[in-house]
Structure 1
């Protein structure tokens, strides 16, 4: 599976923290979108980190494991474990919208959570890393005319640190090899989140998008590499150079583009390690 990042244990000497479960950050199609908030009881310094609960674009509350981000809690970060609408029910474009909403919600309620709205980072592994990069590189401004005050907030973040993320669905593993070739091979178990749909206003139903040019355009839109600009936040990626599911080439191409744009970057290469280590 496109997996979660390696665990960092809480350890016996970990400081205690408060866990607020099932905070509703949005609603869609009659369901609630939730996150759990983890607040250090001591040493909190007002910086928040969004942890994207996602592996293969599958997300569930029971997948939240505080051991994964235990080191962040020990260092005084408030952690927001965000559960997004999950595949196979929802596709990646829909999932990305959930993530934008989560960032806006956290920022709007920064005072409630004891953080500064301009000190938000994001992390995740594999699919969670992809979504982290989308928030870092494709964050959006708020809509000042929005009825919901949450939607008036911007959805960008100030730092990205992620693990083995897909970044370029038009050049997957090598230049010119697109998503649709990868879906026949290493990404074959993950077809559902790429079943792009649109709403037919005449039939009043969702229909699959079958036009290949349109599908390629959506693949570009959901690729972090397509959204690089000079004002992107500092970005760190850790990746194994023996990863056959998400090749390290995916980290290299986005970081090279970020460096060219003048954005501070770092690649941590895990020698001989595959996906998820």
Structure 2
């Protein structure tokens, strides 16, 4: 009954997010209450006060988005428990070259994140993306070894950064094919790629047409090599139009075009093997 356990975990996460939202909204209301009682205070408020109020609004928006994501996951888990309903598809459909290995790992669905900060390794201190990683963040992780024939990238959740070993501890939240529960990994920064946060669209990369990227295949949490084929995004919040390598469909000429949100598309790692 893994679906029931995951649904219960999602409900607990929703409750946590609601409580955190209430605290943030209370702080926002306190600001506005003071300004309504004494409107002239607005002229004397310091810049850091306005910045703090803006930060509260951003936090409230992020929490609301996280709650929506967790709620969607919860619905999917509960749907799989209904009579006559199949559980959510965890693998790319069809007979694509992406699945030629019969023992290929299950494709996992995307999870929500929280926001307890992590310390990042010193060698990555110049990278804003790594410095801003937080416990609970989703990242792309290469879980295959350096000597593997093909690189296997999946979406995982960060749990902590181990200063002694200089490695990130991550968890693959979906039980494996044998039902052995969630897998944990300790990976160096070279095997971790941060995703752009959904709320941080201003820092989202803008990959032009023809660029090769690594992206989450729709309906899964597995990442594959793809090429940007759609017109360049008009807005930074738009999705990318991608063609995934080896995604041929029987009886169809060329590769099908898939749309992937900007926050699930990253730069293709150097030397990627697929």
Fold agreement, TM-score > 0.5? no
TM-score normalised according to structure 2 size: 0.24
TM-score normalised according to structure 1 size: 0.24
Which structure has the bigger radius of gyration? 2
More contact order relative to length (CA 8 Å, sep ≥ 6): 1
